[in-house]
Amino acid sequence: MLDVHKSRGEDVLEGLIRSKYCAISVPIRDGIPRFVNDQGYAGNFGLQWNHFRSTQLDSATNLPLTFNRFWNNTRWKPKDLYGKTVLECGSGAGRFTEILLGSGAKVVSFDLTNAVDANNRNNAGKGDLFVFQGDIYDIPFPNQYFDYVFCYGVLQHTPDPSKAYRSIFSKLKPQGRISIDYYRKMHSPTVWSTPKYLWRPITSKMKPERLLKIIETYIPFWLPVDTVIRKIPVFAGALSYVPIPCWNYINIGLTKEQRKEWAIMDTFDALGATYDFPKTLPEVTEMIASEDNDLTEVFYGSNGVVANVLRRP
Q: What domains, with CATH codes, occur in the chain?
A: 1-30 (no CATH), 48-184+279-311 (3.40.50.150), 193-272 (no CATH)
Q: What sign results for the dihedral spanned by CA atoms 305, 253, 211, 151?
A: negative
Q: Tens-digit pLDDT profile for the chain (313 aa)? A: 655 555 566 665 666 666 655 557 888 898 999 999 999 999 999 999 999 999 999 999 999 999 999 999 999 999 999 999 999 999 999 999 999 999 999 999 999 999 999 999 999 999 999 999 999 999 999 999 999 999 999 999 999 999 999 999 999 999 999 999 999 999 888 888 999 999 999 999 999 999 999 999 999 999 999 999 888 887 777 787 789 999 999 999 999 999 999 999 999 999 999 999 999 999 999 999 999 999 999 999 999 999 999 999 9
In this prediction, residue 188 carries a pLDDT of 87
pLDDT, tens only, 73-92: 999 999 999 999 999 999 99
In this prediction, residue 153 carries a pLDDT of 97
Distance between CA atoms of residues 238 and 222, nearest Å = 15
In this prediction, residue 8 carries a pLDDT of 66
In this prediction, residue 233 carries a pLDDT of 80
Q: Are 272 and 211 in contact (CB under 8 A)?
A: yes
Distance between CA atoms of residues 230 and 236, nearest Å = 4
Longest Cα pair distance anywhere in the chain, in angstroms? 69
CA distances from 181 to 25, 151, 157, 266, 301 (A): 34, 7, 12, 17, 8
In this prediction, residue 22 carries a pLDDT of 53
Assessment of whether the complete model's pTM goes beyond 0.85: yes
